[in-house]
Every structure is written in structure tokens, then in C-alpha cells.
Structure 1
Amino acid sequence: MTNQTAIFIDAGFLLSLGGHRVAGTTLRTAFITQYESLVRGIVQTVKKNTGLSNLRVYWYDASKDGLFTEQHKRIGLIPGVKVRLGRISYNGEQKGVDLRLALDLVGVARNRSASTAYLVSGDDDLAEAVEEAQDLGMKVVLLGIAKPESRLGVASVAEHLALTADAIEILPDQLLDSAFNRVLEWDPDHSEKSARIAEAASAANSTTPAHKSAAPTPAIMAQRPAVNPHVQPGVQAEIIYSSDTHRQGYQGNAAYEQKELGIAQEIGSRVAESWLALTTQTEVVEIIADKPQLPPEIDRTLLKDCAQVLGEWKTDQQKIRRALRGAFWDHLDRLM
């Protein structure tokens, strides 16, 4: 077997964690990724840890109909990178990404093209492919983002996958800080321009009933005081992330459940706020028209952001999902 490495990157996994780290949300419009420096930094990290040259970086993502976007083309032109695409289903879910990664991992091991694979993913579904590659003589190392409070020490990695891998290593904080940058939400000039657009739209719709007027832009929304939709006016409230489950009115499991629902509600409101700050008035009008159905990208962001805080299995609970989506709509409704 050739004594070199191969790197397999689940782009959805890496971008979600990196974006959430700098922007507090997995919404891709909320952060900018420097792909060249990110890929180069990962390759350098692996080489520093192993002393080996790298065969190739395999980059797995999804797109509509599995076709290359301009972004995917730019990533594919980075030296040493092979882009492999799955497709996005009608409801916004990735299809075929894990299968492609698993087949490539086992294929590289079977062809004895690399002695060590570095896997940037946390999906439990890859555990069998990891074991197959190991049986063929390949060492498989997970490369993740540090999360000290996690039992595994890394973020969003399934325990079964972690137990299957030969080792877990961490991406340097310096690399993540340089490769992921939060988008500036709103500058004064942009706000002023958006306010003028909103005023023009309001004038154009002045003959329609008030409840059908144009949606306000983020510039106008920012001028309104924030209100917690789950609290009566004049009553202060706070969401507690600690383990204190003995708040007045609730005890034991009931208190813990209320805390989790409160966290989900705050996440839903925060995603709505981030989305509003980075969207256009037309997009606001369109999403309101489709209510209560959310665009797949936003729904996926709500679930991923919640999973970062509460964990995947909690996010699968319907009451948590209802709280997330309800809080998103509540945040929009109170600004209309």
C-alpha cells in the first residue's frame, strides 16, 4: 500500500460547523468561506501530523440535480481537489453524498492508493465503510472541530463512528478563524438604501389593505424593539442554558423539557433574525406567501443549529421541531 494520505471531506458537515463557530448559525449566507485557505490548511495539518504526502482531497457536497455550481467549479479547480456531488431532494435533503464518500473511501483502500485516510465527517452511516477500509489495511482518522464540553471532544460526531475510527484529531483554531468569516449583517449605507426601497414599496401599495402591505426590510425591522413572543408585555424573561432545573413552576423532567423548548425557541428567533438581516424585501414577501411552509434551506438551518446545542436526537423530537419553526414565524409575524 502506498505510504501517503487521502482526505475525505463532507462539505455540509464542515461548513455547518465552521459557519456556526463564527456566525452562530449554519445558514450559509451568514458567513463567507475561504475555500482555498481551508483546503490548504487541512492538507498542511494532515502533513504536519503524519509527515506523509497527500494523494488527493475528495470534496463531497450536494446540488440541484447533482450539477456543478460556480462555487463547486471554483473548488474543483483548487490543485489536488476532486469534487464529488450528490443531489438535493425536493425537501432540501442531501442524497447520495454519504454513498459516494463511502464508495471512494473503500475504493482507495482496495486499490492500495493511500495508507491513511483522514475523514472530515460525523455521520454514523459511514462506520461500515470505515471498517471495510480498515479490513483492507488502511488506517482511518477522524478530523474534527474541537468541542471540549462534548464527551468525544469534537463537535457533531456520532459515537459509533468515533469508536470505529483509529484516532480523532483536531483542526487548528487558527485555520478555522482564517477560513470562515462572518458576514457583516448591515452597514449604515445599506440600511439607508433598504429603507428607501421599503418606503417606495409602501407608497406603491398604499391603496391595498394594511394587512397586505409590503414586508419591511431588515433596515426598518432593526428600528423596532425586540420582543420575546413567548412572554407577556412588561414581564422580563431569560433563557437558561445551565443545568438548573428547579425554576419556579417546574421541577425535574418537566423543567428540563421547558428549558429545551426555550432553547429551541431562541434558536428559531435567532435564525429568523440572521436571515432577515441578509435577505431582500422580495424574498421576505415570497416566504410570507408560502407560510407555514418554510424553504428547505431555512428548515435545514433550524435543525442543524438546534443540533449544535441540543444534539441530533433531541432535534428529531417533533415538539422541538415545532418550537423551532414556530419561533421563526413568530419573529417574522411580530415585525409585519
Structure 2
Amino acid sequence: MMNQTAIFIDAGFVLSLGGHKVAGTTLRSAFTTHYESLVRGIVQTVKKNTGLNNLRVYWYDASKDGLFTEQHKRIGLIPGVKVRLGRISYNGEQKGVDLRLALDLVGVARNRSASIAYLLSGDDDLAEAVEEAQDLGMKVVLLGVAKSDSRLGVASVAEHLALTADYIETVPDQLLDSAFTKVLEWDKSHSEKTSLIANSPIAPITKTTTKPLMPTPAVMAQKNIARTAAEIEAEAEVIYSSGGESPGYQGSAAYEQKELTAAEEIGAKVAQSWLASTTQSEVVELVADKPQLPPEIDRTLLKDCAQVLGEWKTDQQTIRRTLRGAFWDYLDRIM
């Protein structure tokens, strides 16, 4: 077996961790990723830990119909990087990403192309592929982001996957700080291109206009969303969900108030981040489908919550309803 490493990166996993660290949300439009810096930093970390040369960096992501976007082309042109794409399904879920990663991991082990695989993912579904690669003589190391309050010591990694791997290492905090940048404010050129003027006056009501124009996303995102714990506890809030569940849940019925408060804060923050990088027409479309949420927003709510409360609590329907309700509550308050 070749005495070198191979690096397998689940893009959704890495981008979620980096984005949440610098921007407080996994919503990709809320942060900018410096891919060259990220890949270079990961390769250098592995080189420092092993002293071995790297065969290749495999980058796994999803796109519509599995076709390369301009972003994926840019990543694919980074020396030593191979981009592998799954598909985004009709309902917005990734399909085939884990399968491609698993096949490549086992394939590299079977061909004896590398002696150590570094895996940047937290998905429990990869555990069987890890064991198969190990049976073929390859060591498999999980490379994650340190989290002191996690029992595993790393963020968002399934326990079964962690137990399957040979050992766990972490990337330096400064790597994420340098590779990810928070989108701080509404982009002026974007506003001009979409004909959105942040300080536009309310349109007068005429015979053909039944209500004032909706404020632009830039204006809405700047409004204060501060809510005290007393306000949250006092509200008998109606909760909407994208799964068609009936409204009517009131927080303290099943969970500690601090967990529900955290979920509400996360839902409001996702709404604020989304509004800061969207267009007025997209806001209109979203409101028209209320209480349904687009899959991208729903996934972001769940990922952000998992970063704070943990995967198992995010799986609870009560927490999910609270997240979705807080998102809509934020929009209701500022529109």
C-alpha cells in the first residue's frame, strides 16, 4: 500500500461548521468561503500530522442534476482536488453524495493507493464504508472541528462513526477563521441590480394598490429582533411547520424553557440572515406559501439547531415546530 494520505471532504459538513462558527448560521448565503485557503489549510494540517504526501483531495457536494456550477468548477481547478457531485432532489435533499464518498473511500483502499484516509464528515451512514476500508488495510482518521462541551470533543459527528474510525484529529480554529467570512451587510450592488432600494418610501395607496409595498429585505433585516426571555415565556405562540403539522404548540409543555428559547433565537437568526441576502420577489414567494418553508431554509434551521442543542434534540418534533414558528414569527413582526 502506498505510504501516503487521501482526504475525503463532505462539503455540506465542513461548510456548515465553518459558516456557523463565523456567521452563527449554516445558511450558505450568510457567509463567504475561501475555498483555496480552506483546502490548502486542510492539506497542510494532514501533512503536519503525518509527515506524508497527499494523493488527492476528494470534494463531495450536490447540485441540480449533478452538473458543475461555477463554484464547483472553481473548486475543481484547485490543484490536487477532485470534485464529486451528487444530485439535489425535487424536495431539496442531497442524493448520492454519501454513496460516492463511500465508494471512493473503499476504492482507494482496495487499490492500495493510500495508507491513511482523512475523513471530514459526521454522517453515521459512512460507518460501514470506513470499516470496509479498514478491513482492506487502510487507517481512517476523522478530522473535525473541536467542541469542548461535546463528549467526542468534536462538533456534529455521529457517535457510531466516531467509534468506527481509528482516531480523531481536529483542524486549527484559525483555519476556519481565515477560510470563512461573514456577510455583514446588504450588498449595495446586489440591491441595485434587483432594483431594491433600502430606503424606499411606502408607496401611496391607489385604486390599483390595496396595501403598502412590502419593505425590502435590506430594511427588514436591519430591524431589531431582540426578545426577552419573559416575552417568550409569556407568549402563547402559534407554531407553523413545513411538514403540515397543526398549529397550537406552547413551549413549556414538554421541554425546558431554555431549550425552547434557544430554538426560537435560532429560528429568528436564520430569518434575519436569509432576509439580508435575498430579493423582494423571493420574500413575496415565501410568504405566499406560508406556512410551508423551502427545503433549504428548513435544513438550515435544523443544522443550526443541531450545532447548539445537539442532533438528538433537533430530531424532536417539538423543537422543529418551535424553530419553524420562530422563523415565521420574525417575519410577522417586521412586515
Q: Same fold (TM over 0.5)?
A: yes
Q: For residues 205 and 78 of structure 2, what CA distance do their matches in structure 1 show?
A: 48
Query: Structure 1: any 5+ residue segments left out of the alignment?
Result: 237-252
Structural mapping, 1:295-306, within 5 Å? 295-306=294-305
Counterpart of 1:109? Answer: 109
Counterpart of 1:49? Answer: 49
Q: Is the 8 A contact 2:198 2:216 kept in 1?
A: no
Q: Does structure 1 residue 268 correspond to structure 2 residue 267? A: yes
Structural mapping, 1:151-190, within 5 Å? 151-186=151-186
Q: Does structure 1 residue 31 correspond to structure 2 residue 52? A: no
Sort the Cα spacing of 1:323 and 1:196 in 2 relative to 1 into closer, same or farther, 3 A.
Answer: closer
Q: For residues 219 and 126 of structure 1, what CA distance do their matches in structure 2 show?
A: 41
Once the two structures are TM-superposed, the CA of residue 314 in structure 1 deviates from its matched residue by 1.2
Query: Structure 2: any 5+ residue segments left out of the alignment?
Result: 236-251
Once the two structures are TM-superposed, the CA of residue 187 in structure 1 deviates from its matched residue by 7.1
Matched position secondary structure for 2:320? helix
Q: Is the 8 A contact 1:7 1:118 kept in 2?
A: yes
Counterpart of 1:281? Answer: 280
Counterpart of 1:240? Answer: none
Q: Is the 8 A contact 1:27 1:301 kept in 2?
A: yes
Matched position secondary structure for 2:296? helix
Counterpart of 1:128? Answer: 128
Matched position secondary structure for 2:214? coil
Matched position secondary structure for 2:256? helix
Once the two structures are TM-superposed, the CA of residue 218 in structure 1 deviates from its matched residue by 3.5
Counterpart of 2:8? Answer: 8
Report how many residues are paired.
316
Q: Is the 8 A contact 2:146 2:171 kept in 1?
A: yes
Q: Deviations over 1:172-199 (max 9, x none)?
A: 1121111011112247998999545743
Structural mapping, 1:243-262, within 5 Å? 256-262=255-261
The TM-score with structure 1 as length reference comes to: 0.87
Q: Deviations over 1:74-123 (max 9, x none)?
A: 10111111100111112211111111101100000000000000000011
Q: One-letter code of the match for 2:320?
A: R
> Which range moves more in the overlay, 189-198 or 165-174?
189-198
> Segments of 4+ in structure 1 off by > 6 A?
187-193
The TM-score with structure 2 as length reference comes to: 0.87
Counterpart of 2:323? Answer: 324
Counterpart of 2:201? Answer: 199
Q: For residues 299 and 150 of structure 1, what CA distance do their matches in structure 2 show?
A: 24
Sort the Cα spacing of 1:223 and 1:103 in 2 relative to 1 into closer, same or farther, 3 A.
Answer: closer
Once the two structures are TM-superposed, the CA of residue 226 in structure 1 deviates from its matched residue by 3.4
Once the two structures are TM-superposed, the CA of residue 220 in structure 1 deviates from its matched residue by 2.9
Q: Is the 8 A contact 1:214 1:285 kept in 2?
A: no
Q: Deviations over 1:257-280 (max 9, x none)?
A: 332222111110110011112222
C-alpha RMSD over aligned residues: 2.6
Once the two structures are TM-superposed, the CA of residue 164 in structure 1 deviates from its matched residue by 0.8
Q: For residues 309 and 84 of structure 2, what CA distance do their matches in structure 1 show?
A: 31
Q: For residues 223 and 142 of structure 2, what CA distance do their matches in structure 1 show?
A: 46
Sort the Cα spacing of 1:135 and 1:187 in 2 relative to 1 into closer, same or farther, 3 A.
Answer: closer
Q: For residues 302 and 207 of structure 2, what CA distance do their matches in structure 1 show?
A: 38
Once the two structures are TM-superposed, the CA of residue 31 in structure 1 deviates from its matched residue by 0.5
Sort the Cα spacing of 1:204 and 1:259 in 2 relative to 1 into closer, same or farther, 3 A.
Answer: same
